Structure 1
Amino acid sequence: MSLLSQAEEIKEGFLSKAVGNAIKWTQVPGLKLHNQGSDGTFYVSCDCIGVAARAHVTMPFDLVEINEVLKDRPSWSRLCRKMSVINTYLTSCGNTIELISTQYYSPTNLASARDFWTLRYTSVLDDGSIVVCEGSVCGSHVAPCPPTAIEFIRGEKLASGYIICPNEEGSTIYMVEHFDMEASSVPELIRPLYESPELVAKQMILAALHYIEHMANEKSGKLKQASCEDPVSMRFISQRLSRDFNEAVNGFREDGWTLLNVDTSHDLMLSVKTIKSSGANPNDYNVLCIRSAILLHNVFPADMTRALKEHLSAWVYKFSGCDSSDPCSEAVSFASKSNSVHNLVESTDLLGYTSSDEALEATRFKYNPDCMPNVSSGDLYHLMLINGMEDTGFGACSELICAPYEKSMFIQSFVLSFGFRVIMLGSSPESGTSTDLTPKVESNKRKALTSSTPPPSLLVLAFEFPFQGDIPEGLVVMARQYIQSVISSAKDLALEVMMSGERPEKSAKKDIPETAVVNPNASFADNLATLLCLSYNSIKIQKRSLVGLYPLDINYTGSFLELVQHLPHAILCVSFSSIPVPLYANDQAMTMLEATEDTLQMVEMERILGFFDDYHTLRSVVPVVLYLGYCNLRKGVGLTLDDNIFSYKKGVVWQVQHYDGSIHCLAMAFQDWKHM
């Protein structure tokens, strides 16, 4: 078969998926774009070979710019290691055929990386639309032999691609990504990550569209920057941090890594390589890398990453296996050079945001001279990349990646990165269900997310230790002990996160008055008001920082519904589901939203939280509510059903729980609201 015949076959297959019915699609409502001018609908495959995802979006951007970004996959995909155009051919009608080799990092150290050998076909339709389709190359005497990749497993990319159509509002895009990731070669523990079409939608489609939006905001100056560093520099630093961490996790021999041994007693993988320095005065050095992965239960990725960030001293500076006179301590560039770790002063500066859900910070660890008069070492400086804090769906992934750097040099002078990646595996430990989004599995997933036991998560970590010459005696022992200390601290933090999210003990219910008992013969609204008041007061007793709403008192002797209905605050209850649906609103909330009982369910949460402010969105609030039981809201604005703007000075979101501790719904209260 000729290359042109294969190209036309791939194009036909792609079009049948993008605008036809070759695949049965199920909509994924949890995925969305950020810019107000962008709108899209996302789908995943229900029953097909491999895993596939589709999007139909409209964006206020030029189709040529969109095409340039989408073709440059390494720029927007952090998991894409390399994409090389091996050969290019022009057809007689002016279309372009390219043979491409693409390599992807493995997200963990438990499975091999993937690579693909594909044909990409670019053509322009009569109306000016651009069609770019891609699929794995079949056997052909015309095509050159695919490049060998010993450390990669060759996956298959089935007919995929995108159509970009010009319109008055910008461009309309149809996208399809369809892969066979050879999931059978992956350990069963992490197989859900290779069998989920929703992950394809998030990692391959949504990531690309978010990057397009970010680039547009970067050009227009709408990015949230907090330092003098320009957005291009911030993006370069974050991409390099992410790439260095992925290289440490994968440890490719092609990059010079040599596997020393596997510490089976602690599941540690040790590798070493030499880094060649360039310039007039090259200074080569060696690096010892230790990587591992541990399973965590009852912990969401964003919660765990937040705990690791907020308790840096618990894992960065806890280890005291070497003192400042030990030459091995120089290798631990991220560890304290003194055992008096409690005398370090930490300060963090936000440099800026490199995407809607990724922040770059600079942290300074300063020695306190009053408490540490004998320490002459200079301060320590770290770059920190934090992302995925709003990701709560299937396969949620968050990262904390750090890199030491010299303050006297330009901020891009860092060499090594280290840190953590936390990935939710998407199913309960007891369930053996597939992760395809069939109705049955969607029900199981929703049940898992709304119960008190979240799916298990995998914590992947990689740390690098630089040294000169041969490996110093004792360095491997010291580094292994350090990583074991880090893992121990991470497990302790995971336990704290899990315990802090536990339900109140049943014994606490003894103090509940008889008047607060849920009545099976009462109306839904009456029982909801009772649960709302009980849950609020249960949290209020434990959390003094909770915004005060009075008089939500469990000792109230009248009707709880009447109490809530006439509160001066706007009270809104919504279902705890992938698409929150309003269940109840008191008089103030109805007026604030300009809604009635007939139109209340038409209210969308995006109009209330996050419509004008990216700081508080429902996706960012829910993990905090799951973690603490509540989330305080700073002053903000929202949009009514009649498209009028309202403002509030402060608010709170909290869990409304059943007596068994399960989450019944979410309640929201807004104080001092007014129409603008």
Structure 2
Amino acid sequence: MLESDGVDDVTLLVNSSPGKMMDINFSYSNGFPSMGNAVLCAKASMLLQNVLPAILLRFLREHRSEWADSGIDAYSAAAVKAGPCSLPVPQGGSFGGQVILPLAHTIEHEEFMEVVKLENVGHYQDMIMPSDIFLLQLCTGVDENAVSTCAELIFAPIDGSFSEDSPIIPSGFRIIPLDSGMDASSPNRTLDLASTLEVGAAGNRATGDKSSRGSTKSVMTIAFQFVYEMQLQENVAIMARQYVRSIIASVQRVALALSPSFFGSHAGLGSPPGTPEAQTLARWICQSYRCYMGDELLKHEGSESILKLLWHHTDAVLCCSLKALPVFTFANQAGLDMLETTLVSLQDISLEKIFDENGRKTLFAEFPQVMQQGFMCLQGGICLSSMGRPVSYERAVAWKVVNDEENAHCICFTFINWSFV
């Protein structure tokens, strides 16, 4: 075990002779050593509340870009191959895509194995050009209606050049429930933003008083292993601590987004200010647009909820706070695509960052109109994604979103007919 850096949230363990411990010959199919001199494991645990382990684990499985760093993935894949490799530079947000290829599963589908293909993972300094990375992945306990002692998502980089007896170096997540309360109110939930955030409303309707069920608590253990050359131990230890801490922060934000609100049904507790249910926010957005613009933002057809219609709306819809430096607090799928960001990273982007100098001047000159008359219209122009890529739009509309008490809650923007330049 390595000494702590003063913060005891991440534990580091080192195995300097992995081959001897496992009595395995670490060899590449071409005869060269396939691993570095040692393996470092960074481990941490965290308490989760009001989010089902199966729901959270499925989200982490299906939305790897929300928490993983492609630079670390590239390093891990390169480190288990022949030859030394240098340490990665964190490159969050550079995922090219994820494809899940099923391999096998148990009869009841409570456990399954798959290969995850990470496409065009680049920006790693030892790579001449972007390439694909393959992970062997094992999932258990992802059915929220089944009683399970734990839920696991375990993965390891693999390569076609591995020999048959080559070991794999796994990392991943394990969630152990601390209570037996199960929420079977929604057996067919999917994991896009609309459906997951509707859980709060759907669950309330189906189960009535949540106080009779109690809250869901569980402990998540996060463990990541890194192969490295012995002379790089100190640098790898620093990298591992930082990476696991960033994953903890990402998981906390994702868990908060996935958890239904428990405040409204408990005596003496009201909903925290500024954090309405997603369905309520969607209703406020559409009602305010209708009030100020005299038109409907969404074409409501069939029985689909307002939130789901807003989430799948083709124009980018983004909400920002009413602070002195507004930051984004909500975006539909088109908005996330336009900003080239994720739900986890959205709140790190300020409104002024997406406009160039001329755009900022226009925005700040016209912005008082929103608070005075409730809306403003912007001519077509250019804005920037979080990656700095220019985005053209035909026109944009901003309006004040008010709550049921007619108090200003946020400012909403829609960018119409946007496209990357």
TM-score (norm 2): 0.46
Structure exhibiting the larger radius of gyration computed from Cα positions: 1
TM-score (norm 1): 0.30
Higher relative contact order (CA 8 A, sep 6+): 2
